């Protein structure tokens, strides 16, 4: 059984109000080329097919043309589950009719759903594909009528316990699900900007140890391609880079080959997905980034985040940057990125009666350096001239507070 595992397409996505539909169209054209090279027995799309519950027309058209090619032209079965961005109930509309052509939609979790069985080329027995679309514990409680609302890990434990007695040990069993599945508590190396807390109060996840009964677990939700504990459990990652927290990620699809005898771990090959434009962060002085040499770059059309290292702020920097980089989306100053808002408020309160110190704090936050002695002396002179009765060199402010 040869599987092509993908997910998190997020068709219809906007990046800083910029439509990515042309980039997604290009990426899906590359994906179709990959399918012809890999020649899989089935394609798994592990949730977040769309970026919003009601996708725009061009997003629907792009998905329709892609699935039409896969199902009617290439004759490859496709299994798609609902993710947290999808309109999951809408995905199930017409699913029984579509299944007869080899397009299997499982938008909403139903405890009674059985496996989708597909036989790989040369396999003696079919592979069973079990599906758990994205579901929140409170939704699970409503769907099942359970007496309590479990936590995220407890919910998955209950769902898998309902599947386990129905598993046939004489055939490969694959689970497709969309959620946060981890082998250890999350940290900055595990997660990226694609993850939002699933429950109020923190990030809830299910332990990968719950999934030991499956020969392969195809995951969706995290945008970075990665295994979870072993190659038997894997996130395929997203179709494209969808935030600047993903700039260092290499996007791919997972080509998975299962051992029909179930004696070894799956063989995994990560096939890169070429992108029309990259997402990049560039850093440097404004003059260097916009000088004549910048115009010779071949990738100026990439989506760019700029970090300026200038000590003195540049007037209207985005206008100049867009002359070189037409798709620059955001800009910040390097020294401003280290400013702690809470610390600033504390300093303001502490130095409220010391205007020269307030000015020094402001100068340092804007310029990233302390006020030169000559300028500090001039500021002190100006404040004294403005209010000679309030000498900032003294603690009269504190004295006034005690009167």
Rounded to 10 degrees, the C-alpha dihedral 188/189/190/195 comes to 40
Q: Which of 382, 358, 354 is nearest to 371 (CA)?
A: 358
Per the CB < 8 A criterion, the answer to whether 268 and 290 are in contact is: no
Instruction: Give CA–CA dist 196/191, Å, rounded.
Output: 10
Q: How is the chain split into domains, by residue range? A: 2-272, 279-337, 343-402
Q: Which of 126, 130, 79 is nearest to 109 (CA)?
A: 130
**Chain centroid offset of residue 72 CA:** 31
Q: What pLDDT score does 193 carry?
A: 63
Task: Look up the pTM and report it.
Answer: 0.82
Tell me the HSE value of 28 on the side-chain side, using a 13 A CA sphere: 25
Indicate the SS3 state at residue 32: helix
Please report, in tens digits, the pLDDT of each residue of the chain (403 residues total): 999 999 999 999 999 889 999 999 999 999 999 999 999 999 999 999 999 999 999 999 999 999 999 999 999 999 999 999 999 999 999 999 999 999 999 999 999 999 999 999 988 899 999 999 999 999 999 888 888 888 899 999 999 999 999 999 999 999 999 999 998 876 666 666 666 554 444 558 899 999 999 999 999 999 999 999 988 999 999 999 999 999 999 999 999 999 887 888 899 999 999 999 999 999 999 999 999 999 998 899 999 999 999 988 898 999 999 999 999 999 999 876 554 555 556 555 555 567 787 777 777 665 556 778 888 888 788 878 776 555 444 444 444 444 4
Q: What pLDDT score does 368 carry?
A: 55
Instruction: Give CA–CA dist 49/91, Å, rounded.
Output: 10
Q: What pLDDT score does 367 carry?
A: 58
Q: Which two tokens mark 342?
A: 């809470």
Instruction: Give CA–CA dist 239/371, Å, rounded.
Output: 48
The CATH class of 2-272 is alpha beta
Residue 28: in which H helix or E strand, if any?
helix 21-38
Q: What pLDDT score does 20 carry?
A: 97
> What DSSP string runs through 269-312?
EEEE---SS-EEEEEE-HHHHHSGGGGG-S-TTSEEEEEE--SS
């Amino acid at each position: 059984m040869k599987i092509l595992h993908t997910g998190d397409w997020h068709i219809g996505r906007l990046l800083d109000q910029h439509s990515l539909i042309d980039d997604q169209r290009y990426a899906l054209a590359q994906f179709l080329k990959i399918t012809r090279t890999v020649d899989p027995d089935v394609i798994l799309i592990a949730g977040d097919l769309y970026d919003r519950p009601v996708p725009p027309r061009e997003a629907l058209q792009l998905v329709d043309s892609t699935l039409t090619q896969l199902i009617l032209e290439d004759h490859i079965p496709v299994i798609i589950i609902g993710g947290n961005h999808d309109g999951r109930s809408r995905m199930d509309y017409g699913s029984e009719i579509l299944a007869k052509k080899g397009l299997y939609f499982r938008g909403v979790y139903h405890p009674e759903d059985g496996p989708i069985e597909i036989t790989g080329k040369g396999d003696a027995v079919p592979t069973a594909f079990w599906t758990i679309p994205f579901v929140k514990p409170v939704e699970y409680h409503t769907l099942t009528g359970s007496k309590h609302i479990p936590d995220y890990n407890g919910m998955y434990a209950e769902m898998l316990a309902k599947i386990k007695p129905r598993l046939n040990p004489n055939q490969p069993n694959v689970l497709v699900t969309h959620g946060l599945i981890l082998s250890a508590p999350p940290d900055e190396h595990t997660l990226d900007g694609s993850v939002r807390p699933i429950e109020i109060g923190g990030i809830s996840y299910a332990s990968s140890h719950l999934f030991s009964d499956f020969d392969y677990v195809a995951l969706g939700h995290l945008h970075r391609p990665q295994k979870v504990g072993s190659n038997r459990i894997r996130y395929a990652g997203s179709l494209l880079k969808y935030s600047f927290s993903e700039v260092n990620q290499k996007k791919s699809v997972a080509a998975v080959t299962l051992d029909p005898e179930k004696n070894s771990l799956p063989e995994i090959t990560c096939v890169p997905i070429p992108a029309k434009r990259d997402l990049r962060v560039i850093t440097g002085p404004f003059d260097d980034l916009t000088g004549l040499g910048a115009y010779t770059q071949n990738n100026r059309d990439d989506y760019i985040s700029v970090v300026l290292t200038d000590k003195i702020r540049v007037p209207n920097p985005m206008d100049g940057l867009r002359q070189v980089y037409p798709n620059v989306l955001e800009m910040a100053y390097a020294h401003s990125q280290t400013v702690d808002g809470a610390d600033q408020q504390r300093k303001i309160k502490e130095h409220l009666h010391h205007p020269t110190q307030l000015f020094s704090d402001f100068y340092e936050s804007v310029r990233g350096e302390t006020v030169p002695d000559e300028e500090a002396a001039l500021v002190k002179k100006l404040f004294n001239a403005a209010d000679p009765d309030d000498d900032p060199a003294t603690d009269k402010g504190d004295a006034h507070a005690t009167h």
